[in-house]
Structure 1
Amino acid sequence: MQKLMIITSYFPPEIGAASNRIFHLAQGLKTDYDVTVVTPLPNYPTGKIFPEYKGRFKVKTCENNISVIRLWLYASKSKNKFLRLFAMLSYSLSLVWFFMWNKIPGKVIIQSPPLLVAFTCMLFLRSKKRKLILNVSDLWPSAGYELGALKDGFSYKILQSLERFNYKSADLILGQSHEILTHIEKITTKPQLFLYRNYPNIERIGVSETIGNNTLKIVYAGLLGVAQGILKLCKELNYNNAELHIYGSGAEEDQIRSFVEKNKDLPVFFYGRVDRALLHEELKKYDIVIIPLLNRIYGSVPSKIFEYAKLGMPMLYFGGGEGENIINDYELGWVAKAGDYKQLNLTITSIDNRLLTTERRKKIQEYAYKNFDFEKQLRSLKKWL
């Protein structure tokens, strides 16, 4: 069987869209390839090496017939940009060491971002005998600039140079959105381009019976990072006819806990991080799920859209871009302009609880399984590899 390697910065037991995406990709490819995943020691989103991996420099395991090699890195979630840079650089150095002492197969899928990690792979693995496939899930450095994490200057131009090098060095690029592929086409026409959405591969479960409460029960589940802006959502939401329930972990976790403790008169509840399977059951308790982004990020299409649709959950999307079009085109819920909390609250007020029926949930789920088919997309991808 032909060998294939996937190099990623995120992989289970880490949580999040990036981890789930690569896991499902590896699972889907293992029937046709001998798959090896190279990834750092688990540390996301806590910024600390998970207890069972502490003190290890390399861990090799076989998980679900996939060889998983975990390499050392300096883990950190510090706001200090130099520490964050060193964390990425440490994994890049581990990868260079790994490349020196191990035979790398003829097909390699490389996750980007992080941009520096992807650059290391593209630089050291270039070969006429090897096919490099770049899996682009977000556009860096432009996404970092839109989030306010990066400023236009010398370092930003360096990152743009790395970005261009990565695209031009790839043989095939997988982009999660049309915007990503359009952006890449403006830089280079060398690689083949393939739209690879973040469709989840989850077992179909029955939708819940709706309760029809007068109060709209809104739930958010996922990363509590800067991009999502959940702390600001807690502060800006109009609670006159709504509750907010939060699941997850990340950079804003402590601040959100503090906000909930200090505002016990508000109907906002925080449950922390829960297992994904349990979360799917928990979501059934609520009327709608909210998918917010603090700012509209060009190229970004949150994978939660596809996952929640397969669960039959109506959505309130607050992020702009292609995600907004998907919600509207497939009648998955409501949209509000990214960053406009006044419009968000007006949209929430306009939602008629009587329309949140079991039949509507079943319709959403039917749309999802018809149009967001992981296996169909994977079969198409295999023809390009």
Structure 2
Amino acid sequence: MVFRLQFFRLDLMHILFLSDNFPPEVNAPASRTFEHCREWIAAGHEVTVITCAPNFPQGRVFPGYRNRLWQKETMSGITVIRVWSYITANEGFARRIADYVSYMISAIAAAPFVRRADVVVGTSPQFFTAVAAYVVGLGKRVPFVFELRDLWPESIRAVGAMSKSRILDWLEQVELFLYRRAALVVSVTESFRSDLQRRGIDPSKVAVITNGIDASRFQPRPKDEALLDRHGLKGRFVAGYIGTHGMAHGLDTILDAAALLKREPGGERFRLLLLGDGAGKAALVERARLEGLDNVVFVDTVSKDEVVRYWSLLDVSIIHLKKTDLFRSVIPSKLFECMGMAIPVLHGVEGESAAIVEREKVGLAFEPENAAELCRLLVELEQDRMRLEALAANGPVAALRYDRKELALRMLRYLEKVVRREPLSDPV
């Protein structure tokens, strides 16, 4: 009898979530979407995710999957529908647009086969997913929610992929249209909310739900001895970058620092670990080979379980983006993972995220693209172990304020208000 009453609870929702990234992919959008949806399932709601065959960032379908018109599976109670898309590596503007548009069309085509939904959520960083969510919401006559992870297409200009273009101007008009039509915009930073307000979007319908960590996964742990042996890192001071090697990340700065370290007295003690893939990786690997940067270790993308083992190798983490005003509004999700694992951060991103690093005392900020400053801070922390340990100890304490479970439940309360057509004042 109890289960029947639960079944007929009127406050339970069916949330339809559109995201072109989802596990087993391990990038930030995939992790955030999965971890939020998992918590919504635990709260008793039904969640369906329409995504594509896992392939990011290499542009190759993961083992065990095929790029079919329709595949269905269940992950942690989440119904996952994978649709066909044009698959390409994370490089080349035209090819990536073809990838995004093909997913948009396939997601729209698949949505009518998903039974009644109460709300449709579309997540960026590319907004063609949000376009699909808007169209699906119209078709199902339910509210559309735009989860804003990146100010796309402005980020295309910021990394120099395209500068002035009528296409980008038109895309920005579509972007503004979507913000206006959304019942709710969920922004990952306060800076994004301020930008939307400046551009005429009603701030009362913009909620800020920052990135965070899965506290059950990212915890302090000893260095993985097997990996230390495999990569020749025993007895070294290991600084690392873990994530996408793309145009936005400016990872030549890390190689510049590696070159400077080789000229430092005692520089042989340092190793720089770069784990991940992306459009810029091949050039970085070739540059390191040509310049004899044997203090740089490259590792290809690993599974979500394996990446935690690699995080454990780091004495300090390097987070870096190119020096541009747009990235002042970005908060890299790996910052919170470093906090949870008690890894001090050298933070080469200006703006809102640097303020978090300084406020929480979990690392040191340096000027983006300033290799000399990065090199200096690496040497200082290697020599000042008490300072290093203090920064590390602050991480897990700060991470408690960014627990993904609590953030997911906060977003859920906003979704409930959207479905009930209630005012969107802060539900917390």
- State the TM-score, normalizing by the size of structure 1: 0.91
Larger RCO, structures 1/2 (Cα 8 Å, 6+ apart) = 2
Corresponding residue to 2:177 among 148, 162, 165: 165
Identity of aligned residues (%): 21
What is the total number of aligned residue pairs between the two structures? Answer: 381
Return the offset for 1:87. 1.6
Residue correspondence of structure 1 range 92-171 to structure 2 within 5 A: 92-126=104-138, 129-171=141-183
1:43-62 matches, within 5 Å, as 43-54=55-66, 56-62=68-74
Conserved 8 A contact 1:257-1:270: yes
2:16 maps to 5
Q: Hey, what does 2:93 align to over in structure 1?
A: 81
Correspondence for 1:64: 76
Kindly tell me: are residues 89 and 216 of structure 1, through their superposed partners in 2, closer, same or farther at Cα, counting changes over 3 Å? same
Q: Does 1:178 align with 2:178?
A: no
Structure 1 distance, partners of 2:272, 2:90, is 28
Q: Which residue does the alignment assign to 2:231?
A: none
Whether 2:234 is the aligned partner of 1:234: answer no
Contact 2:238 2:315 in 1 (8 A): yes
| Residue 95 (structure 1) shift | 1.9
Structure 1 distance, partners of 2:67, 2:207, is 40
CA contact (8 A) 2:220 2:340 kept: no
CA contact (8 A) 1:119 1:166 kept: yes
* 1:337 corresponds to which of 367, 371, 396: 367
Partner of residue 219, structure 2? 205
Cα displacement string for residues 306-361 of structure 1 (whole angstroms, at most 9, x for unaligned residues): 11100010000001121100000000111111223333333334334323555542
CA distance in 2, matches of 1:299, 1:306: 16
From the superposition, tell whether residues 98 and 325 of structure 1 become closer, same or farther in structure 2 (CA, over 3 Å).
same
Aligned-pair CA distance for 1:365 = 1.3
Gap change, CA 1:71 and 1:123, over 3 Å in 2: same
Query: 1:244–1:269: 8 Å Cα contact kept in structure 2?
Result: yes
Residues 347-362 of structure 1: matches in 2 within 5 Å?
Answer: 347-351=377-381, 352-356=383-387, 358=389, 360-362=391-393
What SS does structure 1 have at the residue aligned with 2:103? helix
The range that moved more, 24-33 or 74-83, is 74-83
Q: Is the 8 A contact 1:214 1:353 kept in 2?
A: no
Output the amino acid matched with 1:130: V
Partner of 2:282: 254
Q: Does 1:366 align with 2:397?
A: yes
Q: Match for 2:40: what amino acid?
A: L
Q: 1:126 aligns to what SS in structure 2? A: helix
Contact 1:139 1:298 in 2 (8 A): no
Aligned 8 A contact 1:216 1:353 in 2: no
Aligned-pair CA distance for 1:129: 4.6
In structure 2, distance between residues paired with 1:376 and 1:255: 40
- Classify 1:218/1:157 alpha carbon distance in 2 versus 1 (closer, same or farther; 3 Å): same
SS in 2 for 1:249: coil
Paired residue secondary structure (1:227): helix
Partner deviation per Cα, 1:66-105 (whole Å, 9 max, x = no partner)? 1000000011127443222222111121122223444451
Whole-Å Cα distance in 2 between the matches of residues 57 and 9 of structure 1? Answer: 14
Which of residues 283, 294, 297 in structure 2 aligns to 1:269?
A: 297
Partner residue, 1:28: 39
SS of residue matched to 1:125: helix
> Is 1:194 the equivalent of 2:204?
no
CA RMSD of aligned residues (A): 2.4
CA–CA distance in structure 1, aligned partners of residues 251 and 56 of structure 2: 18
Which of the pair is proportionally richer in helix?
Answer: 2
Matches within 5 A, 1:208-223: 208=222, 216-223=237-244
Q: Whole-Å Cα distance in 2 between the matches of residues 39 and 315 of structure 1? A: 33
**Mean Cα deviation higher: 34-43 or 121-130:** 121-130
CA contact (8 A) 1:110 1:133 kept: yes
Q: Which runs of 5+ in 2 are unaligned?
A: 1-11, 224-233, 416-428
- Whichever residue aligns with residue 252 of structure 1, its letter is G
Q: What is the letter of the counterpart of residue 322 of structure 2?
A: L
